[in-house]
Chains A and B, each alone.
Chain A
Amino acid sequence: MNAKNPIHYIARAAGVFMATLLVLLLVVAVQAITFEVASVFWTATPASSTEPKQELTLEQARTQRITLARKEFLLDGTLHLVTESGRDRWQLLRASNPLDTPMGQEQVYDVNDRLLWDGPPKERPYDYLSWAQDTRRDSLTYQRMRNLQQLVEPRILEIPVATQEQLREEWRYLPWDDCFVGYSLEGGRAGYLSAAGWTDSKADVRPFGPFQSFQAWWPPDSHSPTLLWQTGQCIYEIRFASRQIEMLVESPRSRIEYVAMNPGYRFWLASSETMARTRPLLHCRTSDEVHHVILKDPDQTITVATPQEWQQWYGNHCEFAATKEALFLRRTWLEYPAPAARGNPDWWTGFRRTPKTGSVELYRVDETGGLNLVNRYSWTLPGDPGAIRYVELRSSVKRFVSAFSPLLCDFVQLPFPRTFWQNLAQYDFVRELIQVVEEMRPHYSVWSLLVTAAILALTFRHGRPRRTSWGRLVFWLVFVALLNVAGFLVYWALNHTPTTACPACGKRRSLSRTDCVHCRAALPTPEHGQLDLIFGV
């Protein structure tokens, strides 16, 4: 093939890209393995575990008890600190159904460290405010919805509509059209459910909007589930049996970030015991830190805008509870400035090391969304210097290993939008790979610069006798400078050709061109003597 054929150049560029991608992955894998193995040897045991375990002082025990306790408020705003004992915390976390783990004992303290009660949780004599729970626990979230649509294991979302004995209809979610299509089990379509409500024609469908999560429950009077469908800007309640859709919340200017509800919201026609204590409540928070509270019995919507200064603190979180008499807001936070960028290692080091103050506040919310402080409580969280030493040792290992990383590995991320990486990050190991790449960013130390200089010298030494042009050699030198070890491996894999000694100047020369790069001498020709019988035509 003629070397000047354009496809030759395109193929060469494609080959460089392909080789670079594969070698980068290989280098990252080797780095990660080296890092983990080296960490094991360099940091044989975490620093904190080499220190002998000490008995806690009374004050330390008190601090630990307060830190681990649940901060619960009575209906009048009094704060109790509730702890549990006799229940294995890890067993609780691992259990598929927490209710299956054996119950421990509960202890109730007041803010003056007085033990008020000790006994089984079911016999506790105090009635605390019941806070709306984050719906994500029972929800199918955005990430999981994407998992369902992934090619490797496609799934479909289907909502059954049934009588007690038999299915009547199935409503299937169409992700590309962002609506539900109904199929009657007797044959034929049952219509479409979308943001436009029920329609019998697909042309009238209006998409719900960018999906965030949904959860479902069985209303007490129905065999067909009701869905709470949350998008970026709206929350819908979809009742399939009656083919009804109700928009509960609409926030056109800011994204809905958090949704919570209390059990009474789902089952507010259910037991009177539930109704006696609480009002059904749905709480959603938007990205501008505005809280929308939807209440039932009677229906009411209250908008609560929390002060801007609350957001500067790490762990700032607001929850709502509603009784027949009042609406309450509980705020918890740590008095430690929130990080500017997530995952900043220096910030985390400081966070772990520094003692902090945790606080909880209870507000009563009026009908206009105004907040009136009812109670406030603070406690101290000590720092953990021992853990820092371990982290610092690992950082040293990382600095050594990352000296071989591409100097400008940010370039790899540039062409791809965030959603591309989010899609890839659906699976844990892909997320971990991305994390490893993040961790292996070079630290630009003297050691890393020395490594890069050595690799560049090697490249120059290898490339000089093999160059077909100075431009090409310079390109490869820049390439290797940017991509470090990975770049050198790619360069070597794609450019390693045999050389021979030039008979004229004695230096190494490539065989990919007919003349020597140093002295321009041609390839040696054999000698023909008297003993050869060469008589051409």
Chain B
Amino acid sequence: MRFLALLRKELRESLPWLLLAGLLLLGVGLLAVHSEARFAHMRHQHWSSHSGLGPGEIVNVYDLVRSPHLAWVAMWLAFIAPGLGLVLGVCHFWVPLFARTWSFLLHRSTSRMSILGAKLAAAILGLLISLGLVWTGLYWYACRPGLLPIPEPIQILVVGWIYIAVGLVVYLGTALSALSTARWYTTRIFGLAFAVLAAFVILLQWHPVWIIALMVFAIAILFVQTVAAFLSREF
């Protein structure tokens, strides 16, 4: 009951940002899907005038490569997810510092771990619901028969989910920076800097094993430090 009360409070506090992110993604996604669908159908119907290719020629291999129709939306998600992670981190850990409500919150008759757990759970749920559900819904919508000539590859769905997981990495980095008592020009920036570096390295990978391994590793490094910092921090 206590945990639920804390979770409800954190979710309610984050709600405006979750709604904003989800609606933004949904709007951009629907717009992109329909516009891509029109273009794809046009390309297929007027194949010869669009292709610029003919018998007896060497194919420029990059003419055979295209972005998935949802790639543009995924690009937006690549910014929205880490952005949401940053904003949630600020809401959960920075704002109470400025508003000085930590003392009130920490004096709840529950452990610090529960308080932290509620924040983390709220962030994960928020990312999952406001972005994950919307993104999956957009993918399902794009794959409906008749909308696009051929279904979108499953890879683009996975790419979006990885971006959302990167949002969690950024969230933990923000939390760690907020909980640090050092100065900005010393080690306080490390949490955010590591999160950004980890996100960068993850996004450069292509092999699923490395992506998952690096993601888990980065989250573990940040999570364990965030927990230790929160449990031992003075407010």
Of residues 152 to 210 in B, which have CB atoms within 8 Å of A's CB atoms?
153, 155-156, 159, 162-163, 182, 186-187, 190-191, 193-194, 197, 201-208, 210
Could you list 15 examples of A-B contacts with CB < 8 Å? A1-B232, A18-B190, A138-B60, A151-B211, A154-B74, A155-B66, A155-B67, A162-B51, A176-B208, A183-B150, A218-B53, A218-B55, A218-B59, A266-B58, A430-B204
Interface residues of B (CB under 8 A from A): 44-45, 47-48, 51, 53-62, 64-68, 71, 74, 78, 112, 145, 149-151, 153, 155-156, 159, 162-163, 182, 186-187, 190-191, 193-194, 197, 201-208, 210-211, 220-221, 224-225, 227-229, 231-232
- Is A19 touching B232 in the complex (CB atoms < 8 A)? no
Given A140-B62, A165-B47, 11 extra CB contacts under 8 A: A140-B61, A153-B67, A158-B64, A158-B66, A160-B64, A167-B47, A176-B155, A225-B64, A266-B58, A267-B56, A427-B204
B147 to chain A minimum Cβ distance, whole angstroms, is 12
Q: Which of B151, B197, B204 is most buried by chain A, counting CB atoms within 10 A of its CB?
A: B204
- Is A222 touching B55 in the complex (CB atoms < 8 A)? yes
Q: From known contacts A17-B221, A216-B59, A218-B59, infer whether A149 and B206 are also in contact, taking CB-CB under 8 Å.
A: yes
Pick the residue among A148, A151, A172, A174 that contacts B159 (CB under 8 A). A151
Kindly state the separation between the CA atoms of A218 and B211 in the bound complex, as whole angstroms. Answer: 37
- Is A14 touching B159 in the complex (CB atoms < 8 A)? no
Chain B residue contacts of A225, Cβ below 8 A: 59, 64
Which residue of chain B has its CB nearest to the CB of A149? B206
- Is A167 touching B67 in the complex (CB atoms < 8 A)? no
Chain B residue contacts of A157, Cβ below 8 A: 64-65
Give A1-40 as 1s and 0s: 1 = Cβ < 8 Å from B's Cβ atoms: 1000101101110110111011001000000000000000
Give A135-167 as 1s and 0s: 1 = Cβ < 8 Å from B's Cβ atoms: 000111000001011111111111110101111
Chain A residue contacts of B193, Cβ below 8 A: 22
The segment out of A72-80, A386-394, A418-426 that lies at the interface is: A418-426
- Is B47 touching A221 in the complex (CB atoms < 8 A)? no
B55 to chain A minimum Cβ distance, whole angstroms, is 5
Chain A residue contacts of B163, Cβ below 8 A: 151
Q: Which of B65, B67, B202 is most buried by chain A, counting CB atoms within 10 A of its CB?
A: B65
Kindly state the separation between the CA atoms of A215 and B58 in the bound complex, as whole angstroms. Answer: 8
| A170 on the B face (CB < 8 A) | yes
Q: From known contacts A148-B65, A158-B66, infer whether A11 and B149 are also in contact, taking CB-CB under 8 Å.
A: no
A184 to chain B minimum Cβ distance, whole angstroms, is 9
- Is B55 touching A424 in the complex (CB atoms < 8 A)? no
Chain A residue contacts of B67, Cβ below 8 A: 153-156
- Is A15 touching B225 in the complex (CB atoms < 8 A)? yes
Of residues 388 to 426 in A, which have CB atoms within 8 Å of B's CB atoms?
419-420, 423-424, 426
Kindly state the separation between the CA atoms of A410 and B227 in the bound complex, as whole angstroms. Answer: 32
Chain A residue contacts of B51, Cβ below 8 A: 160, 162
Give A209-250 as 1s and 0s: 1 = Cβ < 8 Å from B's Cβ atoms: 000001111111111010000000000000000000000000
